[in-house]
Each structure stands twice: as C-alpha cells, then as structure tokens.
Structure 1
Amino acid sequence: MYLPAAFRQDDLTELHRQITNSRLATVVSHGPGGLQASHLPLLLVADEGKYGTLYGHFAKANPHWCDLATGSEALVIFSGPDAYISPSWYPSKAEHGKAVPTWNYIAVHAQGQPEVFDDPERLRRLLGRLSDHHEAGRPHPWTIDDAPRDYLDHRLRAIVGFALPIQRLEGKWKLSQNRPDVDRRGVWKELGASSDEHARELARHMAIDH
C-alpha cells in the first residue's frame, strides 16, 4: 500500500479496532492458478502473536483455500469508511484556486502465511466464536448450539478453516492531514454534516480541535 508518512497509522490498538469493526475482509493470494480473492468475515485474536492472528473459513468448494494450503502468503484488506472530498470545501480555494478533488479513507492491510485446517472440533470452536462476535448485541442472539448436531456436523464437512498469524500490519488514515488546518476544518465540517454515514464516521476520526 502506498503510505505517505502523513497518513500512516502505527497505533496497534487503532489498527485492531478497525479490523474488528470491519464486517467483511478481502483475502488475496497468488498461487498456481494466478491471483485469487475471497470476501470473508474474519475473527481477530489480538493477543496471539506480535500483531494478532486472523481466523476465518472458506467453502470447501472454493479453490482459493488450496493455494493457502500450499504455503502461499496472503494479503487481507480491511476497508474502513471513505468519502469524496470536494475542492470547494477548502477555504484556501477562494484565495488561489489551487485545489483538486481527492478521496479520504481508512484502510488496514495485514499479511502473513495462513495455516489451513479441517478438524471438526476446531472448526466448531471457530464458528462459535465468529457467531458470538456477530450476534453480540442482538436481543435474541443465535448460538452454534441452536443448530441440530447432525446438521452442523454436515455443514462443517463443507468448509475449511484457516489461521493467519499477522506478520506485517499497515494502516492508512487519509484524513486531509496534508492540507492546511483551515482546509482540514472545512473538510471536517462538510463530512460531519453529510447525509452519508461513512462520511460522518470519517469526520469522527479527524483530530480537529473543536
């Protein structure tokens, strides 16, 4: 990822928070069949390894897992909020007109070499933890124990799990840090007033002295 110093995010707590808040990740790898990409919900175990470990699963019918089983390194992309930035939001534009549109966004990239597994009990624990994570806060959360045991055993045979210890972790918080303070405040104001929830979330990430 192209990562200018002004946009670099090195705070591990913030990186982990963004990973946890990202509902769907993109897992990319390269193997004998070329590039492969799958969109998967993942679970972060923050205290496993230097940067944490990611867990997820593929449908067994998805050939992507075969690349990972042969030792291919994987890149996992977590996309955060993003928004178009209009030059008209910069007060400095009125002075000299030297401004062009851009796009602000938050993104995290994690890299590592996954371990693939199909042990039923390990898969059952993974599905339980994933379900608990995504069901949290619901009035009547579903749990893995709600499914009949024989039905669940059948479903487990149709998936392959993986663990990816994160060996490299990068974060990019592109929030107009390269603009003068007056322009950053203009961007923050417009994003905060937007009807788009992603734009408003970006505004909340901007370090503006109110």
Structure 2
Amino acid sequence: MYLQPAFAEDRLEVRHGLMRAFPLATLILADAGGVTADLIPFMLYADEGDSGLGVLRAHVARANPLWRKLETATSCLVVFQGPESYISPSWYETKRTTHKVVPTWNYAMVQARGSGRVVDDPFWLRRLLDRMTAFHESGMPQPWELDDAPIDFMAATMKAIVGIEIPIDSLVGKWKVSQNRGAADQRGVVAGLGDDPMAQLVAERLKPE
C-alpha cells in the first residue's frame, strides 16, 4: 500500500477501533491457484497474539472453498474499510484564491497481515459465536443469543461452519483525511461534508489557525 507519512495512523487503539467499528473485512488470499477476495465479519482479540497487535477470528461455511485455500496460502491480507467520502474542490478556501485545486477522495482503512490457520473445533466455534453475537447484539432492545435457537438447529449449523484464525504480524493504518491541506481548506471540507462521518475524522486533525 502506498502510504505517505502524513496519512499514517500509528496509534494502535485507533486502528483497533476502526476494526471493531467496521468488522466486515476483505480477506485476500493467494496461492498457486490464484488470488481470491472474500468479505468476512471478523472478531478482534486485541490482547492475544505474540506480536502485541492482536488476533483475528472468524468462521465461514464448510462448503466455502476459502478455508481449504487458507491451508495452502503462505499469508493473509485482511482489509478493513472505514469511512470514505468524495471531496469536492469547491469546499476549499484555496479555490477562491488560486483555483489550483482538484477533487480527491478521503478514507480510513486498516490492513492486517498474518499467517492463518483453520480451526475445526466445535467448542472453539461456540465460544467465537457467543462472543460475536454478544458484541453485535449488545445495542438491541432484546439481544438475541445462540440459546434462543432450537438445539438441533444450532447443532446442524455448527457442523456446517469452519473457524479461521489469523494472528496479526503487521497492522498498517491509513487515514487520508485532508491532513495535506491548510487549516482553511480543512474547515471547508468539514463544513462541506456536513453530517458525513468523514467530517469528524477531518475535524479531529484540524491544523491550528
């Protein structure tokens, strides 16, 4: 990934925050058979792993050939995409002074790399599903739990999935959120974006007057 120093996000808690807020990530695998890219909801275990960067866990359908590819792939790339937005040059103060401006795109993303493994263990899977469900149901008026489903139905469902685990070896964050613009241009972007989530990311990095 091309990463200019101005756009690098080195704070681990910020990178982890994006991964939790946008858990549906793209898992990219490459082996002798080619390259695949699949959207998978991941669970971050921030306090685990030897690198200090955390461990990613997820599950896929047993019928999905992805998990067999994972067994032969030398490494995994998991891309977490956060807020993104088109940035109009008409929002820049510079447009009114020099007109030397062009459109661009702001975005925040995290790329995690590591060697993955397949986990075909019903107890491991149950713990993962319980944790993922509790996390995503926490804001619901009446949170759903796995035990709400019939036992035989859940038993069949568990047999139809396989777990995957990726200890993170490398974690790169890129926040391209107008840090390369002057303060007046940044304020114009914030105003132009309005209620878009990107406005907050730009506002957090405003240069002093």
Q: TM-score, normalised by structure 2?
A: 0.93
Cα distance in 1 between the residues matched to 2:55 and 2:199:
30
> What is the CA distance between 1:70 and its match in structure 2?
2.1
Helix, strand or coil for the counterpart of 2:140? coil
Measure, in 1, the Cα distance between the counterparts of 2:172 and 2:197.
21
Q: CA deviation digits over 1:86-109, x for unaligned, max 9?
A: 111111122111111000010010
**Aligned equivalent of 1:161:** 163
Query: Which residue matches 1:185?
Result: 187
Answer whether contact 2:115 2:166 (CA < 8 A) is retained.
yes
Inter-partner Cα distance in structure 2 for 1:32 and 1:158? 27
Shift of 1:20: 0.3
Is the CA contact (8 Å cut-off) linking 1:78 and 1:109 kept in structure 2?
yes
* Deviations 1:29-84, CA, capped at 9 Å, x for gaps: 11232111111111001000210001101111111111111243111111001111
Q: Superposition pairs for residues 1-210 of structure 1, below 5 Å? A: 1-49=1-49, 50-191=52-193, 193-194=194-195, 197-203=196-202, 205-207=204-206
- Residue 8 of structure 2 aligns to which amino acid in structure 1? R
SS at match of 2:93: coil
**2:144 corresponds to which letter in structure 1?**
W
SS at match of 1:154: helix
What is the letter of the counterpart of residue 10 of structure 1? D
Asked if 2 retains the 8 angstrom alpha-carbon contact of 1:188 and 1:206, the reply is: no
Q: AA paired with 1:171?
A: G
The whole-number CA distance in structure 1 between the counterparts of 2:73 and 2:177 is: 36
> Letter of the aligned partner of 1:46 in structure 2?
A
Structure 1: tracts of 5 or more residues without a match: none
Deviation >4 Å, runs of 4+: none
Taking structure 1 as the reference length, the TM-score comes to: 0.92
User: CA separation of 1:76/1:2 partners in 2, compared to 1, >3 Å: closer, same or farther?
Assistant: same
RMSD: 1.7
Q: Which amino acid aligns with 2:146?
A: I
**Which amino acid in the other structure matches residue 127 of structure 1?**
L
Contact 2:177 2:198 in 1 (8 A): no
Q: How big is the shift at 1:8?
A: 0.2
Provide the C-alpha distance between the structure 2 equivalents of 1:5 and 1:199, rounded to a whole number of angstroms: 20
SS in 2 for 1:68: helix
Residue identity matched to 1:167: D
Aligned residues: 207
